[in-house]
Amino acid sequence: MMELSVIKEPRFLQHLLPGLLLTAAIAALAALLASQPLLAGLGLGALTLAIVLGVIGGNTLYPALAPVCQDGVLLAKKHLLRLGIILYGFRITLQQIADVGLSGVAIDLLVLSSTFLLTCFLGRKLLKLDRETVWLIGAGSSICGAAAILATGPVVRASSAKAAVAIATVVLFGTLAIFIYPLLWTYVQALFPALTAGDFGIYTGSTLHEVAQVVAAGHALGAETENAAVIAKMLRVMMLAPFLVLLGAWLRRDAAQQSGQRQPLTFPWFALLFILVALFNSLNLLPLRALQLINQLDNLLMAMAMTALGLTTRFSALKQAGIRPLLLGLMVFLWLMVGGGAINLLIHCFMG
């Protein structure tokens, strides 16, 4: 028995290593491209570029490599993703939440809940899309873009193709917002002169999709706007964990009502660990250098997961989705700009 176990372990690693190395290499290339000034200025981060490279590779070279790489790629898509979400907690502290105050928390909560519910209504009732695609677009638009879509995917049991479609909407309209928001600030100043650059930063952080997009849009308007935008955005990121818990509980209850049988508990434990890590990070026990290394590792893991998602997505599946997901993404994007702006103004009036 000992001989068998010794032989089996290297063979197990042999199955996983090619796929892991492939996703790591593409993720590293994505990080290198994301560091280039032109792409960084467009707000195209490593995660966005990783899925783009993954989709290109998945529809060209990867089918020939799949027999050797598939096990490692699937490991990256599922398990490395969850580990990456857990480590994402090291980017957030309770002190950051205190900095935006109760008004910032109220804004983020209202924007998140209204955006997700509106996405569900528009996607299901108006556009007749499948519920997994709608939920993924809703999560990505209302919380934190591609990272939220990747984290929500296992909870709703969505396919790689549906996740890729949802990420495409977040990337497209979030990138457009990078150019629109700085122009929007000129009109906001004229219409609402009492609002500060920090107030507009909270609006930016509470309505833009991706962290990288928030940084790019905020940076274009100055340090005060950028800092407020990033803090408001990270608060939205922290809401990912309770969102996943509530969504998982609702899905379990809905399945039980439809089947008439008690459903097994499916709790997204990685979401709970995400919260615990964020609470630990709030104690400021780790030195800055250690946090930097952890965040670099997290960036790699998330980029590898995004690459794996791209590698397992086919153009035929994206084409089959049609134009309706993009229409939903556009409607939600317009709501975030206009409706999210209205929510910001109301909260500032009553709690500012």
Determine the Cα–Cα distance for residues 207 and 148; give it in Å rounded to an integer: 14
Angle at 237 (CA atoms; ends 214, 129), nearest 5 degrees: 90
For residues 303 and 47, the answer to whether their CB atoms sit within 8 Å is: yes
pLDDT at 6: 41
Alpha carbon distances (Å) from 24 to 21, 32, 60, 73, 255: 5, 12, 18, 10, 37
Name which of 185, 208, 172 is nearest 336 in CA terms.
208
Q: Does any domain span residue 260?
A: yes
Q: Does any domain span residue 70?
A: no
Note the pTM of the prediction, 2 decimals.
Answer: 0.76
Q: 126 or 159, which is more confident?
A: 126
H/E stretch holding 264 reads none
Q: Does any domain span residue 272?
A: yes
Residue 236 is encoded by which pair of tokens? 């939205």
pLDDT at 10: 56
Domain count, the chain: 1
Q: Does any domain span residue 143?
A: yes
Q: Does any domain span residue 29?
A: no
Helix intervals (H) in 140-222: 146-156, 160-191, 197-207, 211-219
Highest mean pLDDT: which range of 150-154, 200-204, 239-243, 273-277: 200-204
pLDDT higher than 50, residue 346: yes
Q: Quick: pLDDT tens for 45-71.
A: 787 788 889 989 998 999 999 999 999
Q: What is the percent of the chain with per-residue pLDDT over 90, rounded to a whole number?
A: 38
Q: Quick: pLDDT tens for 67-111.
A: 999 999 999 987 887 888 788 888 878 777 777 778 888 999 999
| Backbone angle region of 159, left / alpha / beta, with phi > 0 → left and psi within -120 to 50 → alpha | beta
- Structural domain of residue 239, as residue ranges? 91-302+315-351
pLDDT higher than 50, residue 7: no
Q: Does any domain span residue 42?
A: no
Angle at 57 (CA atoms; ends 214, 35), nearest 5 degrees: 35
Determine the Cα–Cα distance for residues 135 and 325; give it in Å rounded to an integer: 11
Mean pLDDT of the chain: 85
For residues 40 and 217, the answer to whether their CB atoms sit within 8 Å is: no
Angle at 49 (CA atoms; ends 46, 53), nearest 5 degrees: 130
Q: Does any domain span residue 68?
A: no
pLDDT higher than 60, residue 326: yes
3-state DSSP call for residue 220?
coil
The helix-helix angle for 160-191 and 146-156 (nearest 10°) equals 140
Residue 113 carries which DSSP code? H
Determine the Cα–Cα distance for residues 333 and 318; give it in Å rounded to an integer: 20
Q: Does any domain span residue 84?
A: no
Determine the Cα–Cα distance for residues 18 and 65; give it in Å rounded to an integer: 9
Name which of 206, 202, 237, 234 is nearest 221 in CA terms.
202
pLDDT higher than 50, residue 1: no
For residues 340 and 83, the answer to whether their CB atoms sit within 8 Å is: no
